[in-house]
Amino acid sequence: MNVKEILNNLETKHPGEKEYLQAVHEVLESIENIYNENPQYASAKIIERLVEPDRVFTFRISWVDDNGEVQVNLGHRIQFNNAIGPYKGGIRLHPSVNLSILKFLGFEQIFKNALTTLPMGGAKGGSDFNPKGKSDAEIMRFCQAFMLELWRVIGPNTDVPAGDIGTGGREIGFMYGMYKKLQQENTGVFTGKGLNWGGSLIRPEATGFGGTYFTKEMLDTQNDNFKGKTVTLSGFGNVTWGVALKVTELGGKVVTISGPDGYVYDEKGLDADKIDYLLALRASNNDIVSPYVQEFPEAKFYPGEKPWSVKCDIAMPCATQNELNGEDAQKLVDNGVKYVSEVSNMGCTPDAIEVFHKNKILFAPGKAVNAGGVAVSGLEMSQNAMKLNWPMEEVDSKLHQIMTSIHTACIKYGTEPDGYVNYVKGANIAGFIKVADAMMDQGVV
Ligand code: GLU
């Protein structure tokens, strides 16, 4: 079967799973030529095997809220592919979570993890539980109930979960506590753990720092740098915080952040105090960014709008999938954007990517840009296995090296005859070859 037939079959088989089909479509489009040039992949049905998860677990989670009312949520874990290492990927807790979203994230994770050069397969999990507005006790009871099912299928050499939207240090703590109780073993089965119980330095910053290191490499290719550049970010969580911290350190000016309620424009740019305030905003457990302008009245809040109409040199979406569409992309291009570096997973729609490519804007996809998060998770696993903790500088320099190597891989596989770098193609081909060749070596399983 050729790539188009495989895609058509998949659409018939999983008609409602639009995010998952979108992610598969993007990868298959990029690798079509490589696939056609290497008939061994077709005879081993590599794509047909790669696009279906190894297995999917779905379970009910029952817990009791602070009012004594019973709550029921749905939980999932998708073990997508373990050709190059144990299943690895975060847990998303958000009311929008469904199988299509987790399958897209798990599928992306396979290639992202391959790009890190570390031995990690792809997985994702999550629940439609909404942590916003919940008390610590409610979060704990939910996380414990979630683990009562999940613990059976994870393990330090089997499947290693981590954070994602809605799952941060607090949630990992509650989940890990319950895992340890049930398993009667203190094995570092989660990453993103607390620093005094097996976590790694730089893990909280890793996605944002890594994304900024990657973007710096993109700028380097144009003999350019962050100094004096205006940068627009979306989101106000952990990833946005890490990007704001590093971009500012490198001399860039971050002028926007956003939430589901709208975006904040801060003309003066975020400084150390404002970046610190992001942590407080996040810890407040409300999903709104507007309190920022009460704290810093020089900034302006635009309710219900996205930050992509603001003039900038570099745009870095950091919130969630499909947060930047074709129209937004056109506004960015009209306003003279030079680089778009997607830090969220699949943050840009296919239409948006088309606009960037058509206008020869350098655009890099999430699976390359945000791989620093899972890369430091891999480094956390190494430290746990050695029962050692590396100093901050060591983890940061390894992260930097990994991001540079991902960028090099994108250049290698994504440079077009006219010299323009198609980072989407580069990242997808580099990730695919590594996983496909590992699957070839391991036979039909
Ligand atoms: N959720 C993050 C991601 O999308 C991190 C996963 C991990 O550390 O395992 O890559």
C-alpha to C-alpha distance for 443 and 363, rounded to whole angstroms: 36
Q: Is the pLDDT of residue 345 over 90?
A: yes
Cβ 429 vs Cβ 413: under 8 Å: yes
Per-residue pLDDT of 387-428, as tens digits, reads 999 999 999 999 999 999 999 999 999 999 999 999 999 999
Q: In what order do the strands lie in the sheet with 122-127?
A: 55-64, 70-81, 122-127, 87-93, 159-162
C-alpha to C-alpha distance for 202 and 95, rounded to whole angstroms: 29
Residue 358 appears among annotated catalytic residues: no
pTM over 0.95: yes
Which of these is catalytic: 88, 103, 112, 124?
124
Per-residue pLDDT of 45-100, as tens digits, reads 999 999 999 999 999 999 999 999 999 999 999 999 999 999 999 999 999 999 99
Cβ 145 vs Cβ 153: under 8 Å: no
Considering only CA atoms, which of 350, 401, 412 is closest in space to residue 375? 401
Cα end-to-end span (Å), the chain:
20
C-alpha to C-alpha distance for 247 and 112, rounded to whole angstroms: 22
Pick the CATH number of 3-185 from 3.40.47.10, 3.20.20.70, 3.40.640.10, 3.40.50.10860: 3.40.50.10860
C-alpha to C-alpha distance for 443 and 335, rounded to whole angstroms: 51
3-185 and 206-364, same CATH topology: yes
Per-residue pLDDT of 296-305, as tens digits, reads 999 999 999 9
Considering only CA atoms, which of 132, 14, 138 is closest in space to residue 71? 138
Q: Is the CB of 344 under 6 A from ligand 1?
A: no
Cβ 343 vs Cβ 215: under 8 Å: no
Q: Is the CB of 345 under 6 A from ligand 1?
A: yes
Query: Which residue do the tokens 């049930």 mark?
Result: 182
C-alpha to C-alpha distance for 177 and 143, rounded to whole angstroms: 10
Could you name the CATH architecture of 206-364?
A: 3-Layer(aba) Sandwich (3.40)
pLDDT value, residue 284: 86
What does the CA dihedral 307, 308, 314, 317 come to, rounded to 10 degrees? 70
Considering only CA atoms, which of 123, 108, 112, 113 is closest in space to residue 24? 108
pLDDT value, residue 188: 86
pLDDT value, residue 333: 98
Q: Is the pLDDT of residue 283 over 90?
A: no
pLDDT value, residue 286: 84
Per-residue pLDDT of 192-241, as tens digits, reads 999 999 999 999 999 999 999 999 999 999 999 999 999 999 999 999 99
Per-residue pLDDT of 135-191, as tens digits, reads 999 999 999 999 999 999 999 999 999 999 999 999 999 999 999 999 999 988 999
Considering only CA atoms, which of 236, 232, 245, 234 is closest in space to residue 279? 236
Q: How far is CA 435 from the centre of its chain?
A: 19
Mutate to test the pocket of ligand 1, among 93, 101, 109 (most ligand atoms within 8 A of CB): 109
Of all protein residues, the one whose alpha carbon is nearest to atom 9 of ligand 1 is 89
Cβ 340 vs Cβ 332: under 8 Å: yes
For residue 62, report the distance from its CA to the centre of ligand 1, in Å.
26
Q: Is the CB of 352 under 6 A from ligand 1?
A: no
Per-residue pLDDT of 319-339, as tens digits, reads 999 999 999 999 999 999 999
C-alpha to C-alpha distance for 57 and 151, rounded to whole angstroms: 12
Dump strand ranges (E) for 285-430: 300-303, 314-316, 339-341, 362-364
Give the 3-state DSSP-derived string for 338-361, with helices as H, strands as E and coil as C.
CEEECCCCCCECHHHHHHHHHCCC
Query: Which residue do the tokens 């430290």 mark?
Result: 383
C-alpha to C-alpha distance for 155 and 103, rounded to whole angstroms: 20
Q: Is the pLDDT of residue 285 over 90?
A: no
Q: Is the CB of 377 under 6 A from ligand 1?
A: yes
- Where do the domains of the chain lie? 3-185, 206-364
Counting from 1 in the atom list of ligand 1, the atom nearest the Cα of 192 is 8
Counting from 1 in the atom list of ligand 1, the atom nearest the Cα of 165 is 1
